[in-house]
Chain A
Amino acid sequence: MSQQQAQGRQLSSGNQAVALAALHAGVKLGTGYPGTPSTEILEAFDALGGPAQWAPNEKVALEVGIGAAFSGARALVTMKHVGLNVAADPLFTVAYTGVGGGLVIVSADDPGMASSQNEQDNRRFAVAAGLPMLEPADSQEAYDFTLRAFELSERWHIPVLLRMTTRVCHSATILQMPGYPVPPIQAANFVRDVPGRVMIPAYARPAHKRLRAKLAEIAAWNDSQGPNLVVEGRPNLGIITSGIAFQHVREAVPEARVLKLGLSYPFPAEAMRRFAASVGRCLIVEEGDPFLYEAARTLGIEAENKPEMYRFGELNVERVRRIVAGDMSPEPAAPAGKPPELCPGCPHRNVFEALRDLDCIVTGDIGCYTLGVLPPFSAMDTCVCMGAAIGVGLGLRHTLPPEQARRVVSVIGDSTFVHSGITGLVEMVYNPPPTGHVLIILDNGTTAMTGLQEHPGTGRRLNHEATGKVDFGALAGAIGIKNVRVFDPILESEKIPDIVREALAKNELSLIIARRPCLLAAGAIKVREKANAKE
């Protein structure tokens, strides 16, 4: 059921605004995997009483979302930019199948890499997969565009990308209610559509043509009625922009004429052409890749790109002023702040000290424990993406001379292991290196880095209620890992060097689970375990 839209104004982050819109839209299922800057969307949706759950990873989340949308219900799937890489396989094909109920996929990008391993520009995914994409510029638009995304998704039976960035997700701005009206909600009901949803080649070929036809219709609609905005100004300078860059532009050059794209794919070609023709100099100001610029050039629009140096990192008011002025002089370096570090008393510390002292070659992974790379530990040699610790470790083991191969240890966190480490573990059993391999799971009982979220290894759902719990040791044993050792890295800290040394000496496959709750989560975990035991 749709909730009544509240009246009045409130101060809300972009993430909270998406959650509120999802609630008002009657979203039947919100799912995703935690990732900065997207994490708070599902947490806020749960806090508002919406049905929210964490999936083991983004691919599974999107697949669950697709199923929900096939039923005719509305589904919201949230992730950070790199999460969309994991979900890319279903993404590209659900563009072909289309959906019944609205399916909105949030991609929260991290330009400047405040908490990510790359700053990929996920607007490229909209073009690559062929999906309409909305780009909110503040919390009001995060709310309004979420509702518009459901409306577009249901009108054209196509999933819609809601592309946000750190400064939209994590900035609090004023949300005025009522916002964009809630599109009418349909009930879930299974309607068989075999050629539409079974993507064997014979059905996929016409499905691809249907997708292109939908995109052409949406492009025409975007041109005449899309959520794009022209801010009048002096015609000597025109700026085409989208998302947060719009805010910086309005402040840096208030006198400029501005075309702000809300639905930035499929491109509103005519609106862009008309705008460019109405101004003297037409400059494209966008954060990240030259996405709109390349589109404009392809459309034959004479437009100017920002200098390459502004492709890196976030934009801000000063940088937009420099772009407008064509200033390519070196930017003043920001003073170096204190880098983050593992908390004092963090159970990971003892493990990294041992790995350092044993001169291990450590393939690491994504989480708080990536901080093991920094002094005083300096105990990490690689970190690529979620789950890569295991595969990269195996590749090194296969190819290094044996005396070096025997020093390789893969280190992964508990949530990351569930996310995409399990298939690596299967690879370890299937293609074991001659020297064996050693995997350490740093099991602190939570997804610590993103703010202490539950995962399938904690035995609690997003809302902390008890549920099934994946037992890492039993899983490893069941698929053929001979040596499984569980220990407490705080209470048994003095044993760590021997445990690792013994495993390395074996030439066999070993899983070592260093199990100790995260200091920041331990109190809450105890309370939840007690509460769940009572029920």
Chain B
Amino acid sequence: MPKSETINIVIAGLGGQGVLKASDILSDTVFRAGFDVKKSEIHGMSQRGGSVSSDVRFGRKVFSPMVPSGQADFLVVLAQSQVEVARPMLKSAGALIEPGMLDEGRLTNKKSLNVALLGALARHLDLADNLWHAAIQAALPEKLHAVNLQAFAIGKTP
């Protein structure tokens, strides 16, 4: 990925699914890779089971923290019901990453779906695995490291 362009990623889902945790991990990974990065999200009432989304933008220099509508290179959706809600964010040539792309049965803990879908996203991004692993470990308590690293690997290797 050339350093001059800005990559736009939107992560969407429902409150409680780990959308914000996933965007924390993603933004930390690209930060560790040396990019300028901005992550934006909404807290508060919307987190009570409603639609939640978080924007991550990275590149050489990022200004606005919000992904413009229809400009997402990648749209990661954690809840199948939210795909159509979030789809307008995606570029026509952008890639949609959704739960149906994974065999969820392979996940030891269903709560790590967010990290598994980051694994699926990682297939498209030229970021070293060790950066992802470090960001996952930094974002989660130690007892959840193994299950989430495994979930990431499941998402990364189809």
Interchain CB contact under 8 A, B44 and A114: yes
Give the interface size class of chain A: 35 or more
CB interface residues, A 243-259, toward B, < 8 Å: 244, 247-248, 250-251
Interchain CB contact under 8 A, A337 and B51: yes
Instruction: List, sorted by A's number, 23 A–B pairs whose CB atoms are closer than 8 Å.
Output: A11-B31, A11-B39, A37-B43, A114-B43, A114-B45, A114-B46, A138-B38, A170-B43, A172-B38, A173-B37, A174-B37, A248-B63, A251-B64, A316-B68, A317-B68, A318-B68, A334-B88, A339-B51, A341-B50, A343-B49, A371-B45, A449-B45, A451-B43
What secondary structure prevails in chain B residues at the interface with A?
A: mixed
**Which residues of the partner chain A approach B84 to less than 8 Å between Cβ atoms?**
335
Contact A171 B40, CB 8 Å, known A247-B64, A335-B85, A340-B48: yes
Interface string of A418-456 (1 = CB under 8 A from B): 000000000000000000000000000000011100000
Q: How many A-B residue pairs have CB under 8 A?
A: 117
Q: Looking across the interface, which residue of chain B has its beta carbon closest to that of A366? A: B45
Interchain CB contact under 8 A, B37 and A11: yes
A167 at interface (Cβ–Cβ under 8 A)? yes
A22 to chain B, nearest CB (A): 20
B85 to chain A, nearest CB (A): 5
Interchain CB contact under 8 A, B15 and A173: no
B99 at interface (Cβ–Cβ under 8 A)? no
A368 at interface (Cβ–Cβ under 8 A)? yes
B28 at interface (Cβ–Cβ under 8 A)? yes
Interchain CB contact under 8 A, A173 and B38: yes
Q: Looking across the interface, which residue of chain B has its beta carbon closest to that of A137? A: B63
B11 at interface (Cβ–Cβ under 8 A)? no
A336 at interface (Cβ–Cβ under 8 A)? yes
- Identify the B interface with A (CB < 8 A): 14-15, 24, 27-28, 31, 36-51, 62-66, 68-69, 81-82, 84-88
**Which residues of the partner chain B approach A337 to less than 8 Å between Cβ atoms?**
50-51, 82, 85
Contact A368 B48, CB 8 Å, known A37-B43, A115-B42, A247-B65: yes
**Which residues of the partner chain B approach A416 to less than 8 Å between Cβ atoms?**
none
**Which residues of the partner chain B approach A449 to less than 8 Å between Cβ atoms?**
44-45, 48
Interchain CB contact under 8 A, A335 and B48: no
**Which residues of the partner chain A approach B65 to less than 8 Å between Cβ atoms?**
138, 167, 171, 173, 244, 247
Q: Looking across the interface, which residue of chain A has its beta carbon closest to that of B20? A: A170
Interchain CB contact under 8 A, B41 and A338: no
**Which residues of the partner chain B approach A335 to less than 8 Å between Cβ atoms?**
84-88
Q: Looking across the interface, which residue of chain A has its beta carbon closest to that of B53? A: A337
**Which residues of the partner chain A approach B28 to less than 8 Å between Cβ atoms?**
11
Instruction: Give Cα distance in the complex from A340 to B28, angstroms.
Output: 28
Instruction: Give Cα distance in the complex from A114 to B50, angstroms.
Output: 12
Residue among B27, B43, B87 with the most chain A CB within 10 A?
Answer: B43
